[in-house]
Each structure stands twice: as C-alpha cells, then as structure tokens.
Structure 1
Amino acid sequence: MRLLLKKKSVVLAVLLLVGGLYLINHSDFLMAGLSRSPEIHPSELTWQGQLLVSKESWVDRGQYLPLNVSYQLLAGAPATEQRYLSIGISSVNRKKGSYLISTLQSIFSMSSSEERSSMVVVVLLADFDTGWRMATLKDIKTTFALELEQGQLVVIHVPLEFYPPITGLKRNYNDAPERVTFRSKQNLDYAFLIHYCAGLGQYYLQLEDDISCAKNFLSSIRNRVAEQEKQKVTWATLEFSVLGYIGKLYKSGHLPLLARFLFLFYQEMPCDWLLTHFKLVMTQKATILFKPSLFQHMGTFSSFQGRHNKLKDKDFDDGFYTNPVAEVFSNISTYQKNFPNLAWDAGEAFFWGLSPVKGSYLTVVFKEPAVVTWIFVETGSGTKDLLQSAQVELGHDVVTTGKDKSCKDFQSVGAIENGKFEMQEVDKKYSSASKCLRILVTATQKHWVIIRKIRVTTKQSAPRQE
C-alpha cells in the first residue's frame, strides 16, 4: 500500500514539473495578447485606437472567447453614436494596380447625403508593406477629407504580431502553399475587420476593394431588411450579390461570433465557404439572395498574384447606375431610334450607328467640370458591331458649333482594344477638371458600330483657371 502511494506521489510530482515547465516556456505566447503593444512606425503618424465592442452579443458581454488584437487607427474617427450600417473593406497591395479609391468613390457617390450620414465605411489596410500603406493612406486623405472629417470613413491597420502563423499550414484541397497562405490571411483580415466593426452599425455589410455600387444601395438594403424582418424568419446573412464575399449583410449582434468563427477556422478553407457553414450553424437553412444585385465586381486582376479575374454578377442591374449629368453629341449616323445619349444613360439601351469613318466621334459634355477617376467603355454585341479602332480622350474649354458642343483641346487617355476600354485612377495622370469625354474613331470601318456603355466616376471640382 505504501509502495502504491509512493508511486502515485512520484507520478503527480512529475506531472506538476512538466506542467510548470510548459507554462514557463510558453508564457510569452500565453501573455502575448495581453502584454504586447503593436509596433508603431512614426512615419505613419498612427496611434492605437480603442476597439468599440458590441455589448449586444453574449460573447463580449461575458468576455467569452477573447480575441486579443490591437488596432492602429490611421485616419478618421468612429462616431460615438451607432449608425444604421457599417461597411467593411479589407485591402492589400495588388501587383497590377489598386481599385480601392474607385470603390470608395462609388460607395459615396452612389449615396445621398442622408444615406452617407447613416453609414460608416471601415477600411483595413491589411498589407504589411509600410510604403504601400503610407501611399494609400495619402491618397485616401487627399480624396476623402470630408468623409474622414464627418466620421463616414475610418482607416485602420493590424500589425503582423497579432496574426497567428500564415505559412507552413496544412494544404486542404491540395491547394498550393502560396494559395493556402493567401486565403488563410484573408480570413484573418476579415476576422479582425469584423471584430472592429461590432457595434458601429445596426447592420454590417462586407464588400471587397474592387466593386462598384448601385445607386442608393443603402436605401435598397434598408427596405429589404424591413421586408425580411416582417417575415419573422431566422436569418444570419442576407446577400446582395452572388459573388464571393461581396454584398453580404449581417446583424451587428452576430459579428463577435462571426469574427471568432473566421479566426478559429482560418486555415481550413476560403472565406466564402466558411460563411456558408456560419449560416448553417446560425440555423439559417437556405440562402437569402436579393435581385437585382446591388454590387458588381469591377477589378480586372485578382489580389492573389495579380491573376486575371473576369468575375461579373449577371444579376447586377446597371439601371441603378447614373453617370454625371451631361449632353451627348455624335456625327455618326444613327440607326432608327438608337440615339447617342443611350450609351451614356442608365439602362440596357445603347447607341447604334452606321459605319464610322476616321475622325468620327461621340462627345460627352459635362454639365459641371469634374475630375474623372474611372472610365469604362463597352462596344459591340458579342463579336459583332465592335468599334475596331478608336481612342478615348478628355477635353477642356467647351465650344459650341451649330447644334453641337465639344471642347477646344483634348488629351488622349488610351485606345479601345477588342471593343472595350477601362482605366482606373484616371485622376492620378489627369488631375485637372475635365468638361468633355470623347471617343474618336482613328480608322474607317465597314461594319456598323454599337456603343453599349460609357460609364465614369468623378469627383467634383471647380472649373480650371487659365
């Protein structure tokens, strides 16, 4: 009996010793979330922001499952009062150009002043490249000074030290290691972003950094939510786009759970797959997708290794979109009632003209001078009636000749290729206000031409001073 007690005592002592050594060796890891402070780069002029946590959720109300993370507040300041909608966007350095500024311009330009006062957009600059963050932050501060001042835009960053391992992870679905790292970090980015936004709005909308918005999308969301609540059916996610992690709406009270869900399973699968599982565990059995979609994927190149990305939401209703007020003129003969202005106006109608010759044009004259930030031109119907050779130009100084208006001098922005033209961040190269946008035919073609869409985003500016 004594021998048995002695053996038990020895085993207990060994277990206590091993446990003590484990705690000592891992004390830095266990205390990391409590004792570490994020590395602040003085050149970023940042300071650590306080997390506004929703007390609607039992998770944070009772301090269950703590998510230890500190944020750097780079620009803006969250409002002290909860808004109707918080919008989260995570952005990283893309190898082939950024769409972030255009995305933010679309969000604000497609919203009325009342809608803007009911929202706060939170941008997580999730890249660890300090130079990129500095440059991007400068662009945001320059372009959206008013939105930052009015509490409609907040820019944050989470230092690398708060991320769990993102390399050397298991390769589910036989994904390449680089792909696993990318998708796993993306899950963590979203987890931190969502955690920060808890409590900022009654509802939370997840967007990506390369989208365009339908006109008055917030009012459309508000109406759809009201309709859904009347049905008294359990829901965790309302979807306003069929694509990826775009246009997904959540209740603020669910955000602490969603943030931890993405964090816990960050290395298992892509975020849009995880969100399908989140709906199920929140007892939402079926997808609730509203049409027409309110958001369209705008980017041409993916944030993963700059791969070409042609994803488009076929249910996006372009009729919601409105260009700036303008007049449209063309010397290309019109077929029936398919007038030139139809290429500029919202909707599915288009301009259809007879065979253009070299020097033919379609000119848009803005009512107010504006700095153009994004241009998109689409011609043809499938492979037919494409505009084969033309260039897109911006002009200044309006002149009137008979019934037509145009501009004195034009600058070439770029050439239409394969019937299409798109240019982001136009204002970086053409920063002065424009009064005209012209499509100039540079070679005669025998086929007729359809100009299906001309779409631009702008920021208003005073007329150019000579």
Structure 2
Amino acid sequence: MPPRLKKKNIFLSLALLISGLYFIIHSDFFTSLRPRNSVPNELSWQAERLVSKESWVEQGNQLPLNVSYELLAGAPSTQQRYLSIGMSSIKRTKGSYLSPTLKSLFSQSSPEERNSMVVVVLLADFDVNWKVDTVKEIKKEFPSELEQGQLVVLHVPEYVYPPIRGIKRNYNDAEDRVSFRSKQNLDYSFLIHYCAGLGRYYLQLEDDVFSAKNFLTTMKRHIETLEANRKTWAMLEFSALGYIGKLYKSTDLPLLARFLFLFYQEMPCDWLMTHFRELLTQKQPMLIKPSLFQHMGTFSSFQGTYNKLKDKDFEEGLYTNPLADVYSNMATYQQFHPKLAWDPGEDFFWGRSPEIQSYLTVVFRDPTVVTGIYVETGSGGKDILVSAEVRLGHDVITKDKEKTCKEFQSVGVLKEGRFEIQELDKTYSSLSSCLMIKVTAGQMDWVIIKKIRITTKQSTPV
C-alpha cells in the first residue's frame, strides 16, 4: 500500500474513533447505562429540556448541559412569561417552609401578575418518600396554579450529579459543609438551566422566604427605568441576603448555569454569582431598596442549624405599618418631616440637634396589638440617635394641638442607634394607641430616624 494512502486510512480511522467516543459521551446512550433510582409511577414522567440551539450553541458557541429532568407536577406554558422564578428545596430536619413560600408568592400577586410568571421548584433531595409526600402536598394546595402553568415541580436524578464527596476543602471548611455547598451549586445550575427561555427575566429565590405585595410589578418598574436610562446591568438584587431576590436576564442563564456547574466545588453560590456579575462587566452590586423578599426560616437547610438572618430593608407592602399620625418637637430640616420615618420607602426624618425630652410620637388611627418593633437611625455611621427610649402608650388625648397618649410604658432603649424587639405581645398584650421615641440625653449631632416598622397581630405574615 502506498505510504500516502496508508496515512489517509489511519487518519480516517482516528476520526471515526473520536466521533464515536464523542457520540457515546454526549448522548443518552451513555447516561442510560447509569443506574436509576426506583421512583413511584406517579413521579416517573421523564422530560428532557435543553436550551435551544439559537440561544446557546449558535450564539454562545457552547455545548448544553446534558440533564435529565423528572417533571413531577405541572407543565410550563408554551408561551414565554415575563418572569420565571426558581427555587430548590431539600428535606429539612426541622420542618419545611416550601408551602408558605409558595403561598406568599401567589397570594401577594394579582391575577395579572400570576399570569405573567411561572414558579419552578426543584426538589433536590434524593429521599424518594420525601419527594412523593412533597409532591402530594403541592398538588393538594396549588391545583389551580399547576393547571394554569404557573407552577412546575422538577427533580434531577442523583446519577446526573458529579462527585460531591471527597472534593477539595477550600477555605478550610469542614467536609460536610463543602459537600453541602457544592451540591447546592449544582442544584442551582440544573434549575437555572431548565428555566432558560421560560421567561424574559429570571428571579432566584430560596424556599424559605415571604414576598412583598405586588413584587413583580415593582421589579418591572425598576427594569423599565433602567432601560429608559440605557443603564446596563447583569444582576439586580431585590434582597441583601444570600442567593435571595437576584434577578437575571434569561439570555444570560445558559452561561450562568454552566458557570455554576464548572466551579461548583470552589466556593458558595452567593460568592460565585458575584464573580459572574463582575465577569459580565457589572462591577458594583445594584441593590434595590426597599427589599422585596424576607428570610422566613428559623432553621437552616444545612444540618438544621439555627438561622436568624433578616433583611432590615424588607418592606412587605405599601402599608406595612398601620395608618397613623406622626408628631415631633424636634426641629425638622427642610422637607424631611417626621412621617417619612413611618411611611414605606427610602425617605427618612431628619431633625436638628435633639434635646433631652425631645420626642417623635406615632398615634395609630386604630388601637392595635403590637407584636414587633424595629427602629433604625443614622445613615453611613452619622446622625445616629445615641440615647433614646422606645415606649408604647394607650388612651389617646389631645395636648398642645397634638395627639398623644395619656400613659406610656417603656419597652426598651436604642443601642448603637437601633432597636428591635419581637414577640412583644407575650409581655405587652393589651391594645396600643401610640409609639414614642423619647430622647433621654441631648446631643450636638443632628439625627436621622431612618425607619420605624412595626408588626401587629393583624399584619404578621402567616
């Protein structure tokens, strides 16, 4: 055989061998050889969802993730929605927050808003009994949302996951912590991969939050403002906590899914998403206030540890605080009047140097049982109210043309310009008509009362 023909045959043989190996690795033939967990018939509906060629392969020159999804309940609409919302959920040792989270998302949205979104839940635990029980509960509590394509429940089989045990321990984290955070990155990668194309925008949540009223409309308003001003962005943050309330453009989801998958064992997901944002040339975070999502859970999904994280900038709704009149004898600077500390939003009360016995008094239109109080003063470490007492009062009277209360009872003092108390009704269960911040020592610095928020038995989230 001539040398040239011999070389040509060797080249063709190698090309055929490489093509065959590529086909085996990137086809369902390869994954079908892996063992599958036994799943009850009612949860065995297999559904493949790959990002379209147009959005990934042809435009991004990237290969899609080869993921098999089990579609457990619901089905996404064939029409793209305005917003897709993703969350993953695993079995917790001390209760579940998934149903309350879903109830909050749907109940805080108008019918028009619900029709503009789809919530995708990835049940990311490999306990089959837990998975079956959770799906049954969701089907029972959210039949309408499932039927209308507003809610989809998924699972990714365990064999799809790369190794999460015996991997490197960055930051000297314990092995179980490394495994937990690495699997979480993979959960989010698969979830985000599935959601690509379901909506124009994608919102990442956790399964233990409650939401503000009409959150979708508020987000839409912010997006439209940014677009009108031609301001570029890669990620908007509607909560300061973890991986809660992070909004992306769906066109970026294929890259984000691949990014989390490639670096799943390197660091926690909220650190990775910061790097991803910076790689997309958004150098500074864009945190939108007030926050639209609040952390609900008390116990973490990691080993059931106690978790009391709360977002101080969360505003549940337009009228989180009850209707009230606000008075103060502190000299007001320009238009920063006292009621701004009570109303929702980012405005605040700004007063000149307060003296001892200066006050700000909130008089409720209707008496109410107060369950929690939060007061925040100062801005950027300046204009902090150093010494003051927080009081609740009853029996409204009129004094010097102002309403106030006849009697007050102290519930605590500010520390470093802040005050917070919960479950107040356990020790002060009677109806209150007033809340007063009473200055107990004068100061030369001016004072900003940035936020006064209360919860009542009527407004406490379920």
Q: CA deviation at 1:94?
A: 1.0
Structure 2 residue aligned with 1:36 = 31
Letter matched to residue 108 of structure 1: F
> 361, 375, 392: which is aligned to 1:352?
392
**1:142 and 1:381 mapped to 2: Cα distance?**
45
Structure 1 residue aligned with 2:173 = 175
Structure 1 residue aligned with 2:109 = 111
Letter matched to residue 202 of structure 1: R
> 218, 222, 226: which is aligned to 1:220?
218
Name the SS of the counterpart of 1:103 in structure 2: helix
Letter matched to residue 148 of structure 2: Q
Q: 1:319 and 1:117, CA in 2 relative to 1: closer, same or farther beyond 3 A?
A: closer
> 154, 157, 170: which is aligned to 2:155?
157
Name the SS of the counterpart of 2:289 in structure 1: coil
Q: 1:297 and 1:29, CA in 2 relative to 1: closer, same or farther beyond 3 A?
A: farther
Q: CA deviation at 1:320?
A: 3.7
TM-score (ref. length: structure 1): 0.67
Q: 1:85 and 1:34, CA in 2 relative to 1: closer, same or farther beyond 3 A?
A: farther
Structure 2 residue aligned with 1:6 = none
Whether the 8 Å contact between 1:33 and 1:162 is mirrored in structure 2 is no
**1:81 and 1:453 mapped to 2: Cα distance?**
41
2:377 pairs with 1:340: no
Q: 1:293 and 1:59, CA in 2 relative to 1: closer, same or farther beyond 3 A?
A: farther
1:143-165 CA distance string (max 9 Å, x none): 11110011100000000010000
Name the SS of the counterpart of 2:363 in structure 1: coil
**2:150 and 2:29 mapped to 1: Cα distance?**
31
1:367-395 CA distance string (max 9 Å, x none): xxxxxxxxxxxx955699xxxxxxxxxxx
Where in structure 2 are the equivalents of 1:264-343 lying within 5 Å? 264-320=262-318, 337-338=363-364, 339-341=366-368, 343=370
Where in structure 2 are the equivalents of 1:53-452 lying within 5 Å? 53-54=51-52, 57-59=55-57, 64-320=62-318, 337-338=363-364, 339-341=366-368, 343=370, 352-353=392-393, 380-381=411-412, 420=423, 452=455
1:181-203 CA distance string (max 9 Å, x none): 00000000000000000000000
Is there any run of 5+ residues in structure 2 with no aligned partner, and where? 1-9, 323-360, 376-389, 396-409, 416-420, 437-453
Letter matched to residue 51 of structure 2: V
Letter matched to residue 90 of structure 1: S
Letter matched to residue 275 of structure 2: H
Q: 1:87 and 1:443, CA in 2 relative to 1: closer, same or farther beyond 3 A?
A: closer
Q: 1:44 and 1:167, CA in 2 relative to 1: closer, same or farther beyond 3 A?
A: farther
Structure 2 residue aligned with 1:328 = none
CA RMSD in angstroms comes to 3.9
> Could you tell which deviates more after superposition, 175-184 or 276-285?
276-285
Whether the 8 Å contact between 2:240 and 2:291 is mirrored in structure 1 is yes
**1:442 and 1:62 mapped to 2: Cα distance?**
61
**2:177 and 2:130 mapped to 1: Cα distance?**
22
2:452 pairs with 1:453: no
Whether the 8 Å contact between 1:147 and 1:153 is mirrored in structure 2 is yes
Is there any run of 5+ residues in structure 1 with no aligned partner, and where? 1-12, 325-334, 356-378, 385-417, 422-438, 459-466
**2:455 and 2:247 mapped to 1: Cα distance?**
32
**2:435 and 2:288 mapped to 1: Cα distance?**
35
Whether the 8 Å contact between 1:52 and 1:200 is mirrored in structure 2 is no
Whether the 8 Å contact between 1:185 and 1:266 is mirrored in structure 2 is yes
Name the SS of the counterpart of 2:278 in structure 1: helix
Among the aligned pairs, what percent are the same residue?
59
Structure 2 residue aligned with 1:431 = none
Letter matched to residue 100 of structure 1: L
Whether the 8 Å contact between 1:323 and 1:346 is mirrored in structure 2 is no
Letter matched to residue 453 of structure 1: T
Letter matched to residue 84 of structure 1: Y
Q: 1:55 and 1:230, CA in 2 relative to 1: closer, same or farther beyond 3 A?
A: farther
Count of matched residue pairs: 356
Q: CA deviation at 1:352?
A: 3.2
Q: CA deviation at 1:23?
A: 11
Q: CA deviation at 1:318?
A: 3.8
Q: 1:59 and 1:286, CA in 2 relative to 1: closer, same or farther beyond 3 A?
A: farther
**1:127 and 1:60 mapped to 2: Cα distance?**
34
Letter matched to residue 108 of structure 2: M
Q: 1:284 and 1:35, CA in 2 relative to 1: closer, same or farther beyond 3 A?
A: same
Letter matched to residue 120 of structure 2: V
Q: CA deviation at 1:285?
A: 1.7
**1:346 and 1:80 mapped to 2: Cα distance?**
46
**1:112 and 1:256 mapped to 2: Cα distance?**
30
Whether the 8 Å contact between 2:211 and 2:316 is mirrored in structure 1 is no
